[in-house]
């Protein structure tokens, strides 16, 4: 591929579990006298959209149009998440408020780029608000080019089988980021994107590439998927389609943080497909985007410009005139 397609007309609908990623940054200079644990003196707090919200943020950062559909609690964290999403260009957030739950928060304590502790706050959404979200999904579906269902196992995708069926009936490619050990509910999706450990949890371990390929193709066939993409960390990505497997190696990088890399992968895949690319090309660009984002701390995004520069640095020969400059996607730390 010598050039990226234009992204500005691509429209992607993202549905799934959203959360607020909250970071406490500071320094550790002593051990607590109360217990053998480090004392973190916090000097900065940062808040970023996480989960499906980070997927939507990655789509918007690439310059495409993202619509996010999800559920939050009627609380401070939900209001904070909505505010952060409003600050993101190219993103429309349709968040249903559920007063019976707390917005999911992942709180991380970080010192010198090392995560010391993560604390999670979460409760599953009510059936009533999920039915309302499903009604919105039916309205938004015809407006999208591609659908992403981002499953973090938090209860927001109770109707995922119906959502997949509705998308396929509407002729929309539907990409699923899976969770758990029961993939039956993802049957009929266009593409599933498990990472290596998630795939092993479902398919079992393997001794060599031949055995891995057989297990992947068997799962793809059983679930009636058009394709299966297994992200394999330092071993790259493998794309399985009927009678075909393609592998994309990892580009050597300095890795700071892999959190959120899967969000970047599926977001880039969707934007590429919505822009008319085929799956192998979409995989190659998603692999580059993931390589860029793991060099950043915390849940982060990749711009179209960064991908173009990475391709230029690798000798792909893209001209600067071909670059579409996306809107800024800077998030402001909490006050």
Active site residues: 263
Alpha helices in 20-101 (DSSP H): 52-61, 76-86
Q: How many CB atoms lie within 10 A of CB 120?
A: 10
Contact 175, 269 (CB under 8 A): yes
Taking a C-beta distance cutoff of 8 angstroms, is the pair 177, 82 a contact? no
Token pair for residue 299?
């849940």
Strands laid side by side in the 65-73 sheet: 91-98, 65-73, 11-16, 146-150, 174-177, 191-192, 227-231, 237-241, 244-248
**Angle subtended at Cα 176 by Cα 172 and Cα 179, rounded to the nearest 5 degrees:** 160
Q: What is the CA radius of gyration of the chain?
A: 20
């Amino acid at each position: 591929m010598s050039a990226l397609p234009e992204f500005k007309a691509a429209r992607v609908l993202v549905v799934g579990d959203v959360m607020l990623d909250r970071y406490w940054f500071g320094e550790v200079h002593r051990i607590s006298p109360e217990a053998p644990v480090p004392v973190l003196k916090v000097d900065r707090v940062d808040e970023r959209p996480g989960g499906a919200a980070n997927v939507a943020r990655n789509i918007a950062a690439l310059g495409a149009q993202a619509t996010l559909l999800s559920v939050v609690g009627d609380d401070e964290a939900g209001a904070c998440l909505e505010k952060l999403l409003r600050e993101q260009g190219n993103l429309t957030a349709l968040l249903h408020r559920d007063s019976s739950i707390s917005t999911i928060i992942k709180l991380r304590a970080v010192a010198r780029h090392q995560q010391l502790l993560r604390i999670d706050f979460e409760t599953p959404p009510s059936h009533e608000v999920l039915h309302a979200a499903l009604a919105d999904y039916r309205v938004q579906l015809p407006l999208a080019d591609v659908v992403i269902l981002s499953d973090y196992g938090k209860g927001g995708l109770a109707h995922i089988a119906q959502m997949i069926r509705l998308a396929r009936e509407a002729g929309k490619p539907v990409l699923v980021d899976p969770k758990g050990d029961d993939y039956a509910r993802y049957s009929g999706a266009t593409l599933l994107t498990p990472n290596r450990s998630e795939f092993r949890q479902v398919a079992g371990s393997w001794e060599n590439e031949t055995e891995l390929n057989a297990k992947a193709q068997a799962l793809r066939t059983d679930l009636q998927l058009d394709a299966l993409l297994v992200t394999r960390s330092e071993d790259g990505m493998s794309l399985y389609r009927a009678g075909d497997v393609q592998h994309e190696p990892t580009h050597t990088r300095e890795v700071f943080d892999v959190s959120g890399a899967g969000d970047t992968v599926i977001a880039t895949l969707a934007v590429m497909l919505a822009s008319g690319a085929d799956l192998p090309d979409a995989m190659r660009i998603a692999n580059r985007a993931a390589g860029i984002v793991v060099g950043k701390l915390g849940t982060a995004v990749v711009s179209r410009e960064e991908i173009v520069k990475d391709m230029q640095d690798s000798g792909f020969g893209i001209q600067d005139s071909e670059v579409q400059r996306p809107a800024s996607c800077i998030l402001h730390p909490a006050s």
